[in-house]
Structure 1
Amino acid sequence: MRILFVHGTGVRRERFDTLFKQVREALHKRFPDADIPPCYWGDTHGASLGAGGKSIPGHHQTRGAPGGATPLDQETAEWHLLLADPLCELRVLAELSSVAEGYGTPGVQVAGRAVADRLAQLPSDMPAADTLEALLRATGLSEYYSAALAAVAEASEFKTACARAQDSDATGEVTSAAARAVVAWLLAAADESALCTGAERDKLVNMITERLGGTARGPLDKIGAVLGTLALRVTTQPALNHWRGRITTGATPAVGDILRYQARGGPLRDYVRQTIEAAPGPTVVIGHSLGGIALVDVLALAAAEQNPLPGLKLLATVGSQAPFLHELGALTSLEPGDGLPRGFPTWLNIYDRQDLLAYQAQPIFPAGADVTDFEVSSRQPFPVCHSAYWKLDSVYDRIADAVKGSG
């Protein structure tokens, strides 16, 4: 018997040699007489950046260390933090104040109380001609405005910050922070449906700030001192901007292999088919990740042509996306909704539910199809679990059982 192992995405020679040695040793323990030749395709059919990454913005520019962030980096980081927690600036203002909570001298209204009163009085329904309403509609945020006003007005962080704002400077900070909180709440609620540029976002902040009694560009001195550096450290965008080139080139083998296969997978399928047909006799094929997609395509296309590959006893896919692609209608070999063609071999599909790149096959195909799912667990999170299959005895034992069952 012959067993072919077709590796997955992102694997290149050094990693393949290590992985294949491990897989072959585990299979030989269960099939001592099996012929297990390599089926390496990474160098020839894998993806690479043909122009050295020239398409990546800033990749070939000289940049300083990630710590040398630009003002634009800091602004982006601050809004990243606000989208995750729209009340974060108000919370800082409430906590930084050393003035005890209350309304100051009896009979004298605390300055910040006026901000709370104005926010409570802002109309949620505005005429279409109102400039703020027009901008909310243009940015796709209008339907969330009423809820955003209520969320900020009722927040304990806002109430506390207002109660502790004793002078004009403190009131100005509360006003600006409240306006930014409302806009951040709007953007977070709308998520990807928002159609809002940075300039439009800033205009919304200015409009709301003015309606709360502040100036177009109110102070945020206390907040900036605390949150400015923190935002750069805990948000990802500045780092992503700096490391984009290395991240993209580093991810090219893994992501690029999938994209290349989807666009130009013919040569890889031809190579896999030729490797299967290179020797006669009973054959078992095992595909990991993208290798499983290629095997499903090769075998389904051959069966659809009424020319199934001879001697094929079992297809085993491990951590494969083939079922998901078929559900999307994006599997090369099958039309959306089609079942497996006559002549397709017995299919064992092994998955770990923690593996975000692994999918179930049985629910995708009609009852009666010779497809079996088998769940394993490496007790590892993603992405480690995507490679951990090959250290699990249960994977090899289940394949061995399936081979015996196939006769």
Structure 2
Amino acid sequence: MTTVIFIHGTGVRGREYEETFKTIEKKIYAERPDVKIERCLWGDKLGTSLLASGASIPRYDETLALDEEEEEDKEILRWKQLYCDPLYELRLLLLKPGEERSDNPFAESPLDELRSRVDNFTPSDKLQAKLAEAGITEVFGEAREAVIRSNAYNEAWDNVSAESLGEYSNVISRAIAAQAMLICYQQEKYAPVLTNAKLRDQLVELLSLDLAEAELGLGDWALEQIARLALPIGTNYVVGKRGAVTNKISPMPCDILLYQARGGKIRDFIRETIAEAEPPVVLLAHSLGGIACVDLLVEQSLPKVAHLVTVGSQVPFLYEINALCSLEFGQPLPEHFPEWLNIYDLRDFLSYKGSQIFPKVRDELVNSKQPFPRSHSAYWEQDKTWEYIMEILPR
């Protein structure tokens, strides 16, 4: 029986690992129910934490900022803004020049009908099924209420005409979907829709059709404004929230620093998991997990391991800059190193190609259509990811 061992990357702890593990189980068992899938959760035991309760963190006014990608796809840029602020497009509509209306003052207008549907909305059976698939059934009502109670939602109606009904129903639908995703993120509920752009777009389409029963895509004034106005999150916010921001983001870079300094314990943890597994073994490793697996497989011959799969891996880059601890630049992979599949995404800036660095590597590209950093965690919901993995699973 083939055994797949999932080794996670930086910053991952118990609950997030378990949600990802469930996704991996579901994807593999759908085609290969004969495969055994094992955990290798090193983060809970060996990952970093603030051992002195943050005593080293001062308050200061300096920060680093990443330049925005100038040629970023408009749709991805739209969602990059909505992930941070679900009401972003609704606020943009407040800047839209007023449109002349031809409504009959003595009859209910299409706008009144749309608003009534939004305010008294009940999802159709088809949408209910999609909400369940997306993992946001429990928070959908809360998300809709948050949107319709907002000033942005209520004030934007003044700038909307019947002719832009389709556009506005799309804007409202994206706001509700983005709000639901934000609630999930804040509550640490790792719903599939958080990293699955296809599922997200299907959800928005169904919701918009339920709301307006109108053809989608009737203009997109807000999208053009987003492309022009997309503003980075201000430095002052980070300064004022430094403790909370540190708690949120520190596990990722700190796990990397810990591994570079004391990675032996993490590699030993992986090796012990392999030793207990039934061969042949496939190591499925994300991000830092891939670095640890490559270092382990360079240092030791592990005949049980038939294949290594790295996803969103920095190994080729570390090797090229001579920072891979197990192998200096110019040294080849040892003869005992197993077959290696490397999956990357052009929008994941923490993923790299390996085939021009290591002859044994087979590179495969996926496109999550997610902005960075969400793209770094979006591999598990991509059909292409699983096509490539299924091809190499031993039978």
TM-score bin (small chain): 0.5 to 0.7
1:174-223 per-residue CA deviation (whole Å, 9 max, x = no partner) reads: xxxxxxxxxxxxxxxxxxxxxxxxxxxxxxxxxxxxxxxxxxxxxxxxxx
Distance 1:44 1:235, change over 3 A: closer
Match for 2:327 among 330, 334, 341? 334
Letter matched to residue 280 of structure 2: P
The 3-state SS of whatever aligns with 1:11 is coil
Aligned pair count? 228
| 1:235 shift after superposition | 7.5
Query: What corresponds to 1:393 in structure 2?
Result: 383
Contact preservation (8 Å) 2:318, 2:324:
yes
Equivalent residues of 2:8, 2:287 under 8 A apart = yes
Q: Deviations over 1:114-150 (max 9, x none)?
A: xxxxxxxxxxxxxxxxxxxxxxxxxxxxxxxxxxxxx
Q: Deviations over 1:317-367 (max 9, x none)?
A: 0001111111111111101221111110000000001101100011112xx
Question: Which amino acid in structure 2 is aligned with residue 253 of structure 1?
Answer: P
- Whether 1:325 aligns to 2:318 is yes
Which of 340, 349, 354 is residue 342 of structure 2 equivalent to? 349
Describe the SS at the equivalent of 1:275: helix
SS in 2 for 1:37: strand
- 1:2, distance to aligned residue in structure 2 (A): 0.7
Match of 1:243 among 235, 241, 264: 241
Query: TM-score with structure 1 length normalisation?
Result: 0.53
Q: Structure 1, residues 229-273: CA drift from partner, whole Å, max 9, x if none?
A: xxxx98833323212222122111111111111111110000001
* 1:9 matched residue in structure 2: 10
The CA deviation string for residues 63-97 of structure 1, in whole angstroms up to 9 with x for no partner, is xxxxxxxxxx7xx99xx9xxxxxxxxxxxxxxxxx
| Letter of the structure 1 residue corresponding to residue 392 of structure 2 | A
Q: Name stretches of at least 5 consecutive residues in structure 2 with no aligned partner.
A: 66-230
**Distance of 1:313 and 1:237 partners within structure 2:** 47
1:207 is aligned to: none
Quick one: which amino acid aligns to residue 306 of structure 2? K
Matches within 5 A, 1:6-405: 6-58=7-59, 236-302=234-300, 308-365=301-358, 369-403=359-393
Query: 1:17: how far off?
Result: 1.0
TM-aligned CA distance change 1:49 to 1:354, over 3 Å: same
Task: Tell me the alpha carbon deviations over residues 45-76 of structure 1, each in whole angstroms, 9 at most, x when there is no partner.
Answer: 111111011111039xxxxxxxxxxxxx7xx9
Determine the C-alpha separation between the residues in 1 that align with 2:235 and 2:18.
36
Judged with a 3 Å threshold, the aligned counterparts in structure 2 of structure 1 residues 264 and 403 are, in CA distance, closer, same or farther, namely same
Percent identity for Structure 1 against Structure 2: 46
What amino acid is aligned across from residue 293 of structure 2 in structure 1? L
Partners of 2:324 and 2:388 lie apart in 1 by 26
1:40 to partner: Cα distance: 0.8
Question: Structure 1 runs of 4+ off > 6 angstroms?
Answer: none
SS of equivalent residue, structure 2 residue 341: strand
Task: Provide the alpha-carbon RMSD of the alignment.
Answer: 2.1
Query: Which amino acid in 2 is paired with 1:346?
Result: E
- Name the TM-score, length of structure 2 as normaliser: 0.55
In 2, distance between residues paired with 1:239 and 1:22?
34
Query: What displacement does 1:279 show?
Result: 2.7
Q: Specify the code of the residue in structure 1 equivalent to 2:257.
A: L
* 3-state SS, counterpart of residue 284 of structure 1: strand
Residues 388 and 235 of structure 1, relative CA distance in 2, 3 Å threshold: closer
Query: For the residues of structure 2 that align with 1:31 and 1:262, how far apart are their CA atoms?
Result: 36
1:30, distance to aligned residue in structure 2 (A) = 2.4
